[in-house]
Structure 1
Amino acid sequence: MFRQLSKRPWLIAIAISLLLLLWLFSGGLFKAQDTATADAPAPEQGPVNVEVTWLEASPMQRQHVVQGQIEAWRRVELRAQVSATVNRLDQDKGSTVKQGQLLLSLSGDNRPAQVAKGEADVRQRAADASGAERLRQRNLVSTNELIRLQSELAKARAELDLARIQLGNTQITAPFAGVYDQRMVELGDFVQPGQSLLTLVDISQLKVSAQVAQQEVTQLKLGQPVRVELLDGREMQGELHFIAAAADPNSRSFRIEVKVDNPQALRLAGASATLHIQTGEALAHRLSPALLSLDKAGRHGVKWVNEQQQVVFTPVQLISVDNQGAWVSGLPHKVALITLGQGFVEPGQQVTSQLAKGDS
């Protein structure tokens, strides 16, 4: 057969032409079918089915939740006022002391002698001034002499007061009741004026400091109740007793302090805590945080179905969040919240809603 075709080349040309025609025809047919398929109308789709749950607003306590730092109510670092040697350690570190109780003693050196000398000088000057006053009444002493003697008496009394103060500064006493927290010196140390000796803290009450954003500080008032949650889950009750008058120039936030009674003298100063500040009652909806979504502007909100069975997106304000759910405000009083299918619908879309299982 191939020998016959080779002898007749015109037959080969005819066969090739037929194959080309078949190929072109089949391509056009497929293209026509594709065009027809593209131009065909899409089958109509019905409204999307979603599940909804009816939620009604209920009263709740609005609160701000901020992280705070627990501090002692009072803390003072006692320093040396005179040059002296540590003569006696009157109390141990960690002990509870009363106001005025002796904590540490410094050497008196020559200070008792200075006091005794001052007392003698005062007695002498007082006698001289008293005698001059009697003589002045009889015009036996001039007015200037009397004034000079009275001035010397005043000077002697001032020097005596200074000597007594210097002697008193060798006895380091507690300015208030508290805990002897730290000691920076040991027995026999020589100290100079201004040198730190010990610290005393008052933990009968505690203060918890925190920073509040400038847009939230206007909702706070002195005396508001505050719940203080410790890291181990324990809770204490306190009240807001200080709000800064000016914001921190760096953070633009306001410092607040919460006063907490600590009758058991729990050693909590320096620890962290969470402040739950009550700011009044408000109507809000409680829902799962998983139902919150973002719109194109990045606002938090939820999707719900109106009476016309259309999807509505409403931005909400997040009031508080915990392990049980989230409280939000901004929704209608009663709302059919989409609980299933919200990710497949858009605002304005027509839907068919049905109650979620368990709702009546």
Structure 2
Amino acid sequence: MKKSSIIVAFIILLISVGWILSGQIPKKIEEEETDSSLNNITDNKIELVKVRTEKSVSKKFNKLINIQGQTKANRMISISSETLGRIIMINEKKGEKIEKGDLLFKISQDELKIRIDENKARLSSARSQIDERKSKLNEFEIQFNSEKNLFDKGLSSKSKFANAKANLDSARSNLDTAKSNLALVKSELDLINNELEKTIINAPFDGIMTTGHMEIGEFVQPGSVLANFIELDPILAIGYVSEKELKSFSLGSNAFITTSLNDKIKGEISYISPIAEEGTRTFRIEITILNKNFLIKDGLTTTIEIQGRQVLAHKISPSILSLMDNGEIGIKIVNKESIVEFFPIDVISDTNQGMWISGIPDTSDIIVVGQEYATIGKKVDQKLIN
């Protein structure tokens, strides 16, 4: 019994020693393999990511800003009557060009002409009255001077002298009254003549009269709207730009508009609002365009292309753009030490022929192949392809 226990204990001891040794041998082998791998890495050069680059040199480029807008008449006014009367004549060229000074409406003048004749008669009478009273004044002045000489010498009574003075004062007062009456008649005549001028309504500028509100024979009074009149030469194109785009152009910058009815037409920026629109935070701009033949109509939807200031820019393919984790869009370049750098960019213009951008050095080796594998801040093996 004691002998069998010894044998069992010995077997267990052998098994334990074998199990311990079996764990140590693979570990030693693994350590040897790791040491061997490290030696190989040290002995061999690390393989760099290979990229292809193009040398890009910035060029002068006019930034183009494209926005949507609408055409608008340069001026639009309501033609209103300034006097009483019946319409007796209307310009029939509705919708056609009317020259400045051409007749638009004529209002009856019969009543005014009667009043003018009456006041001319009153004017003549007032002038005759003045002549008569001037004559009387001269007569009373002579009498007064004669009476004064006699009175000073003691040859005339005090009552006669006072009477002569009263007659002179009355003659002067009567002449002043006649002069006031003449001025009043002249004023009334001027008012009537002014009313007479208001019966002739002419075009205030070259433009078009829209459909009229009145017809011949209708009675009008001051303030009655007769028609609308618009100026289409020049015509305006109205659009809105963001605050970021404001720095790219100024008053006088060239712009081109295109509508469904017209080819591309050149204009000039004539107004930039100093105040942003509350809802959109954009700024209103106006482009003035010559429109001699009135080919551009009011209210047309238009594409506006603004020629911005000249900047230095690079032309690239949009396919080489990189998107960072923070949402920044830019491109990767290789510097003189062959290290990858990332630059956020500003898009100046995106055309069918390529994208013009700024934000990178004037001379740059841009990664055009392999940018997705090139890590920022790491060295790469670059090959110029131009």
Match of 1:211 in 2: 240
Moved more, 331-340 or 127-136: 127-136
Alignment of 1:290-301 (within 5 A): 290-301=319-330
- Residue pair 2:130, 2:178 contacting (<8 A) in 1 also: yes
Match of 2:56 in 1: 55
Which structure features the higher share of helix residues?
2
Match of 2:115 in 1: 114
- 1:314 and 1:134 mapped to 2: Cα distance? 102
- Residue pair 1:118, 1:163 contacting (<8 A) in 2 also: no
Match of 1:180 in 2: 209
Task: For residue 94 of structure 1, give the secondary structure of its aligned residue in structure 2.
Answer: coil
Residue 316 of structure 2, aligned match among 282, 287, 291: 287
* 5+ residue gaps, structure 1: 1-28
Deviation string 1:297-324 (CA, Å, 9 cap, x unpaired) is: 4333211222333321111222222333
Moved more, 126-135 or 296-305: 126-135
Moved more, 236-245 or 312-321: 236-245
Match of 2:68 in 1: 67
* 5+ residue gaps, structure 2: 1-22, 142-167
Task: For residue 149 of structure 1, give the secondary structure of its aligned residue in structure 2.
Answer: helix
Runs of 4+ in 1 over 6 A off after TM superposition: 40-45
Which structure features the higher share of strand residues?
1
- For 1:349, the aligned partner's letter is K
Structure 1 pair 48/162, CA: closer, same or farther in 2 (3 Å)? Answer: same
Alignment of 1:58-137 (within 5 A): 58-108=59-109, 110-133=111-134, 135-136=136-137
Task: Give yes or no for the alignment of 1:351 onto 2:377.
Answer: no
Structure 1 pair 287/167, CA: closer, same or farther in 2 (3 Å)? Answer: same
- Residue pair 2:344, 2:359 contacting (<8 A) in 1 also: yes
- For 2:72, the aligned partner's letter is E
- The TM-score, its normalising length taken from structure 1, stands at 0.75
- 2:193 and 2:240 mapped to 1: Cα distance? 46
Structure 1 pair 232/199, CA: closer, same or farther in 2 (3 Å)? Answer: closer
Deviation string 1:165-185 (CA, Å, 9 cap, x unpaired) is: 333333332111222233222
Deviation string 1:248-267 (CA, Å, 9 cap, x unpaired) is: 45544443322222233213
Per the TM alignment, residue 198 of structure 1 is displaced from its structure 2 partner at its CA by: 1.3
Task: Give yes or no for the alignment of 1:271 onto 2:272.
Answer: no
Match of 1:333 in 2: 362
- For 1:82, the aligned partner's letter is T
Match of 2:186 in 1: 157
Match of 1:3 in 2: none
- The TM-score, its normalising length taken from structure 2, stands at 0.71
- For 1:283, the aligned partner's letter is L
- Residue pair 1:70, 1:270 contacting (<8 A) in 2 also: yes
Match of 1:229 in 2: 258
Task: For residue 315 of structure 2, give the secondary structure of its aligned residue in structure 1.
Answer: strand
Structure 1 pair 81/305, CA: closer, same or farther in 2 (3 Å)? Answer: same
Count of aligned residue pairs for this structure pair: 324
- Residue pair 2:249, 2:309 contacting (<8 A) in 1 also: no
Identity of matched residues, %: 28
Bigger CA radius of gyration: 2
- 1:170 and 1:253 mapped to 2: Cα distance? 46
